[in-house]
Structure 1
Amino acid sequence: MIFQILTDSTADLATQWLTEHQVDVLGLTVQLDGVHYETVGPDQLTSPVLLEKMAAGSQPTTSQINVGQFEAYFTEKAQSGIAVLYVAFSSALSGTYQSAVMARDMVLDDYPGATITIVDTLAASAGEGYLVMEAARLRDAGLSLEETCDKIADLASRLKTHFLVDDLNHLMRGGRISKASAFIGGLVNIKPIISIQRDGKLESVAKVRGRKKAMTEFIQLALQDIAEPVAIVAYADDIETAESIKERLLTEPSIEEVHLFPLGPIIAAHVGPGTQAIFTIGKQMR
């Protein structure tokens, strides 16, 4: 192996895939009904359990990966002489990226010859996951760490993310959008469409009355400026709708493959039940 890839649990990648492709993962945590849950490991919180509790009124919160966790991981790799590429959750949505940067600097003080590279994807969920999968593919094809970083940075700059959410209050509680935006989205039968902008922040790009009209607008926005023939659809708890979105996307000449990903518990905790997301790679920077 040329270098070790690390990501975090916001990338929403299956444990089996991570194991098969030799990608390590550290987990953010969820606090739910007074209980602390991990999102990596045999006792991890699953999205179906979380979403069921949210539908019943629970209001989860999430915590970033701390400096100590990253320091322990980076130190182990530095002692073994293994170069690391960390493909990270958006710095605009979590302090996890900054924790990793602080830990890297600490470890490099003790091991100045270590190689620890961190890529801020400015992405989340299966968008981040797509970049991790591409990094693994490039590494396994023999590209160097530097070459892989360059290609991932280019893809990240053109990654388009659209979320169709039922309730913006979940994002408001986590500080991801303003109270004003949540209020507008809460008006009768208004379905907001959220996009991740160039700076990694969330922005409401459309507010459509009615789920059916919103779904049409959601798909149309996602299909603008397509460069790669692959799309990813992520869903909270409604795979039937995700399947119908997949079928609709595959009718477009610009789309040849559509992959379905369930939203993991960290992202699901912030967007809530009923959420759908589409990730594509555009020609232009987002």
Structure 2
Amino acid sequence: MTFQIMTDSTADLSQTYLEQHDITILGMTVTIGNKTYETIGNEALDNATLLAAIKKGETVQTSQINSGQFSEVFKTFAKKNEELLYLAFSSGLSGTYQSAVIARDMVLEEFPEAKIIVLDTLAAASGEGFIVEEVVRLRDAGKSLTETLEILSVLTKRLQSRFMVDDLNHLARGGRIPKAVAVVGTMASIKPLLDVDTEGKLRQVSKVRGKKKAINQLIDKTLEDMDMAYPKVIVSYSGTDEIAQQIKSEIIEKSKITDVDVRPLSPTIVTHTGEGTIALFSIGKIDRS
């Protein structure tokens, strides 16, 4: 193994996948009322519990991973002289990346020979997971950390993340989008479509009347912009997977792509999107603009 890989719970990767590929993970926490839940491990918060609390109107909030947590893990790799690549949740959406940078610098003062790379994926949810999976593929193919970083310098810019949510007020309350955008989203049958920009922040890209038209636009735009050197789409959802499975079938029917993976959003993400979120992730032909 040429280097070690680390990420966090916002990447929407299953515990099975993480264990199979020897990926270290740290979890953000979600607080519902006065109780704080972990998002990794056997006692991790599940989406059913979270969504039930949101429907009841309970206060829910997330907490980022702090520098102390990062420092503890980074030191374990530094002591073993193992190269580490940490793939971080977008700095445009959380302070987790900055906490990791602070921790890395502290650890390097004690272990100056250590190689700890903290990479801002500028991505969220399965977009972050998409990048992690590509890194696993590169590492398993024998690529060095330096070679992998060169490839990532292209891929992270070309990652396409498109999504819609049923209730934009969740994102507005968390400061992820302007309140004015959420107001539009409450209008009858108007579905704002969003993506992740070059700074890793959420932005509205269009408004579509009707959920079906919005979904069709998500699919068509994803297929139109895809780089077929990476013929893979991840469809993420919150709540039930019925619509996500329909989208998978439509993508396969409309294209030659057969690698279409459907997976649930993590509780950390669902806290800020609520139920009914649909997101599509792929690698585009050109950099995101």
What TM-score bracket applies, with the shorter chain setting the length? over 0.9
Alignment of 1:25-104 (within 5 A): 25-104=25-104
The aligned residue for residue 269 of structure 2 is 267
What SS does the aligned partner of 1:109 have?
A: helix
CA displacement at 1:211 relative to structure 2? 1.5
- Would you say the 8 A contact 2:11–2:128 is kept in 1? yes
- Would you say the 8 A contact 1:84–1:117 is kept in 2? yes
The yes-or-no answer on 1:279 pairing with 2:287 is: no
Q: Percent identity?
A: 49
CA offset digits 1:98-157 (Å, max 9, x no partner): 000000000001100000011111001111101111111111111101111221231111
- Would you say the 8 A contact 1:119–1:153 is kept in 2? no
Separation (CA, whole Å) in 2 of partners of 1:213 and 1:58: 32
- Match of 1:211, as an amino acid? K
What SS does the aligned partner of 1:223 have?
A: helix
The aligned residue for residue 252 of structure 1 is 254
The aligned residue for residue 123 of structure 2 is 123
What SS does the aligned partner of 2:253 have?
A: coil
- Match of 2:130, as an amino acid? Y
- Would you say the 8 A contact 2:190–2:207 is kept in 1? yes
Separation (CA, whole Å) in 2 of partners of 1:254 and 1:282: 16
Separation (CA, whole Å) in 2 of partners of 1:100 and 1:190: 39
Q: How many residues align?
A: 286
CA displacement at 1:59 relative to structure 2? 3.6
The aligned residue for residue 24 of structure 1 is 24
CA displacement at 1:223 relative to structure 2? 2.2
- Match of 1:260, as an amino acid? V
- Would you say the 8 A contact 2:181–2:204 is kept in 1? yes
Separation (CA, whole Å) in 1 of partners of 2:38 and 2:258: 36
Separation (CA, whole Å) in 1 of partners of 2:255 and 2:214: 22
CA offset digits 1:222-248 (Å, max 9, x no partner): 223110211110011121110100011
- Would you say the 8 A contact 1:226–1:254 is kept in 2? no
Alignment of 1:226-237 (within 5 A): 226-227=226-227, 228-237=230-239
Separation (CA, whole Å) in 1 of partners of 2:5 and 2:81: 14
What SS does the aligned partner of 1:49 have?
A: helix
Separation (CA, whole Å) in 2 of partners of 1:217 and 1:146: 38
Greater shift, 47-56 or 276-285, is seen at 47-56
Separation (CA, whole Å) in 1 of partners of 2:68 and 2:129: 24
What SS does the aligned partner of 1:208 have?
A: strand
- Would you say the 8 A contact 1:33–1:58 is kept in 2? yes
Separation (CA, whole Å) in 1 of partners of 2:265 and 2:16: 16
What SS does the aligned partner of 2:126 have?
A: helix
Separation (CA, whole Å) in 2 of partners of 1:201 and 1:80: 36
Separation (CA, whole Å) in 2 of partners of 1:56 and 1:214: 28
Greater shift, 108-117 or 145-154, is seen at 145-154
Separation (CA, whole Å) in 2 of partners of 1:209 and 1:252: 22
The aligned residue for residue 193 of structure 1 is 193
Separation (CA, whole Å) in 1 of partners of 2:90 and 2:199: 9
- Would you say the 8 A contact 1:166–1:192 is kept in 2? no
What SS does the aligned partner of 1:93 have?
A: coil
- Would you say the 8 A contact 2:236–2:244 is kept in 1? yes
- Match of 2:77, as an amino acid? K
Gaps of 5+ in 1: none
CA displacement at 1:254 relative to structure 2? 5.1
Separation (CA, whole Å) in 1 of partners of 2:223 and 2:240: 21
Q: Could you say if the C-alpha distance between residues 160 and 254 of structure 1 is closer, same or farther in structure 2, counting changes exceeding 3 Å?
A: farther
What SS does the aligned partner of 1:261 have?
A: strand
What SS does the aligned partner of 2:31 have?
A: strand
What SS does the aligned partner of 2:74 have?
A: helix
